[in-house]
Structures are given as C-alpha cells and as structure tokens.
Amino acid sequence: MTILQSNPGANVLKGKKIIIGICGGIAAYKIPQLVRLLKKRGAIVRVALTEGGAHFVSELALATVSEERVYRKIFPPMESEGVDFTRHISLGEWADALVIAPATANTLARLSAGLCDDMLAAIFLTLRPGKPVLIFPAMDGQMFLSHSVQRNIATLATQGCSIINPESGELASGLCGVGRMPEPEAILRALEEALHETGECSPLYGKKVVITAGPTREKIDDVRFISNYSSGKMGFAIARAAAKRGAIVTLLAGPVHLPTPPGVERLDVESAAEMNAAAEGFFNSCDLFIGAAAVSDYRPATPYEGKMKKDKEEIELALVKNPDILARFGLQKSACQLAVGFALETRTGLESARKKLTEKNLDLIAFNFFDRKTSGFDVDTNILTLIGSNGEITELPQLTKDAAAGKLLDAIEQLCLKDRH
C-alpha cells in the first residue's frame, strides 16, 4: 500500500480554504471572532452571508476580518467591472470545507430541499464530494425540537453533513434550554477534527476499500430463506467513515434497508455465493478489505424449486458450507493489502476471535458480542475489542456505530503507517 503520512500534531488548518455560511440567528455576532481564529491558524476564509444573516452581523466587519469580499446574492450587479458570472459554482469547487454557523431553521429547510436561491445554497450544492460540511443549528429550543427542523436535520445528515447539536444554556430569548451555538473555539476544534479525518490527512485517502455489510439470504425454496438478524448498520457506518476520509469505497451489501452513504459505490447482493463472487472481483485491486457482513455459514444443499408444501410432519434440510469470503481474501492477499474482520461471539469469545485472526491471516479483528441491547446485531451502538495481528488489544467502550467505525478506522490507519516503517 502506498501510504500518505499523517501527522496528528500538524496544523491541519494551515492553507485550508474554508467557507463560513452565516445565517440569520443572533449567534451570528460570534462569527467574526471565528474568522479571526481561523485566519490566525493560517486558513483562507471566505464568508457567505444569507439575507437573514446580514441583519445580525455587518458585511463590513466580516470583509475586514476575512480580508475577502463577502458573498451574498447569486446575481452579480451588472454595473460593476470584472464581474465573475460563475462565482456561484466556482466557490464550491474552491473550498476544502464548509461551516454553516449559525444555521437557521429556514436555511436548514432550504438546504435539505436542495434550493439554490443564494450564494450559501449554491456553495452547498456545488461543494466537491468528500469535503466536510459542518452544520451548527442554533435557534429557540422548541423550534429546534420541532418535527420539521428535526426532519430537515436528518435529511442533511444522511447526505453526509456533520450536524453539531446546539448546546443547552441561556438563549437570546432569555429562556434557558437547548439551542445555543457552541463558542467559536469549539467550532474551530470541530473543524480541525473533521479536516483531520478527511482528505490528504488520512492514510486512507485515495485507497481502494471494499467493505461487506449486512446479512445474506440462503434460499430454502422460492419464497423462504435462512438468514440472521444483521442490519448492516456497522458495515454502512464504516463505509460512511472511510469515504469521509477520502477512501474510494465499494460496499457489498446484503439485503438491508439502509441508504447508501454519500460518495460510496454500492453493490447489492443476496446470497453468500453472490457476495463471494462480487468480492472476488476486488481481491487483486483493493488496498483494504473489511468483512463486516454476517455471511451465512451454511446454505441449503439443494434449494427446492417453487414453494415447498407443508404435507409432511418432519423434513430434513441438508446444508452445505458457504465460502468464507474473508478467509479467502486473507489467505491470498499480498503483503501490501490489509484484511480486517469482525468476530461476533458470546461475551467471553475473545479466544475464538484471536483464533479467527490467525486462521484467516487478518491484520485486525474487531471482537463484539451480541446482547441485542448494547452490542452486536441491529442495535445502534457497539462495544468493540480490537485485536491486532501482533496481539495488541484495544478495548473500546459502548459507542454509536458511527463512533465505533471511526475508532476502527483510526486503528487501521495506524496499521497503514506501521507498514511504512
């Protein structure tokens, strides 16, 4: 694997082109301070101000601190000289990241609906894939919790935007509650983190990553199958996180009801044999293979054609073993490829996970147990224990599957970096 170095101590903001979208909320008054902090860190900052935003913070102040003109309307004034008529699409190409703070209920609705009625909306629509979008909703607490705002936030989150929930505290209305925008220092830290996870900063940037996810279905007859409770959430979270870090991700998905993460190529399969055939096509070309699917170990030897009748008291179903996709990849991979697997065991199955790691020639295995409440199939959280091929063990706490995916990729990045030395 050709590895790009990452240096966690480096100033990721230096030279980065950041657009800050400011909407019409009272917290807009804090943004000139954020611009100053970013400039001090060496970022190039441009501001897109909404009509609402212009009521709360002055264009002159923003232009002064950013040392750039402020962008507002899509239609340029015809009388001025040197007008750039396509600025509404070129800024999205220019930017390394977009921060929308404060994000009003109104602009959340505009963006989630795909409107393009001001510069901020145009930049949002034209930003290049993989570039982080951080949205900081700030508004009255009741407004924030309203069905419409929550629906729009959920839509934007499924498009890959990072939504940073407002804090609780004193609001402009004088009430106390949720709705307050984080302070500029906290926004800066969130942006640093997002940039650190993306693009050139990650050793996974530009790497070809194949991830299997979800269950498989093994036909008994034309209407029945053997399967398991896997929801695909863990594998999809890993695919989402890897794409955010700039990897070229192919997701081989069993039958699940999940939206495709942004920037991910998805191939839907049904049976273990289909997943195996699809995976084989990437064995030689991928840099990293992550087996997160719960592939059925066995399939009916001879699926019945049509629908089996229930005319017998007892039937016997002969099962044959399915190919172990991850083991097949692990045992034939080259020295510059990485194989990562999951071991779903009972709570005490650490030894069995270790055995799988060795037998399948994996570089890392994530051991998790199933209790159907905090960990394993279908639930939204997971408790992973990562075991490296050198025997090193990292126990993670209960995390959302998105956060667990991030930790898993952090560990894989460390493997990539070690490879180099």
Binding residues vs ligand FMN (CB under 6 A): 23-26, 50-53, 102, 104-107, 138-139
Closest to ligand FMN by CB, 117 vs 280, is 117
- Strand, helix or coil for residue 249: strand
Q: Give the tokens for residue 141.
A: 């607490």
Strands 176-180 and 167-170: antiparallel
Catalytic residue status for 284: no
Residue 182 DSSP one-character state: P
Closest to ligand FMN by CB, 104 vs 230, is 104
Closest to ligand FMN by CB, 143 vs 350, is 143
Beta carbon of residue 365, minimum distance to ligand FMN (angstroms, whole number) = 46
Written as one letter, the residue type at 70 is V
Q: Which residue is nearest to ligand FMN (CB)?
A: 52
**What is the distance between the terminal CA atoms of the chain, rounded to a whole angstrom?**
12
Beta carbon of residue 326, minimum distance to ligand FMN (angstroms, whole number) = 47
Cβ proximity of 7 and 196 under 8 Å = no
Beta carbon of residue 141, minimum distance to ligand FMN (angstroms, whole number) = 11
Beta carbon of residue 171, minimum distance to ligand FMN (angstroms, whole number) = 8
Closest to ligand FMN by CB, 73 vs 321, is 73
Active-site residue, from 228, 284, 322, 361: 228
Beta carbon of residue 269, minimum distance to ligand FMN (angstroms, whole number) = 43
Residue 120: closest CA among 134, 100, 105: 100
Closest to ligand FMN by CB, 139 vs 279, is 139
Residue 366 has phi, psi (to 5 degrees) of: -105, 110
User: What would the DSSP string read from start to end of 259-323?
Assistant: PPPTT-EEEE--SHHHHHHHHHTTTTT-SEEEE-SB--SEEESSPPSS-----SS-----EEEPP
Written as one letter, the residue type at 299 is R
Active site residue ranges: 228
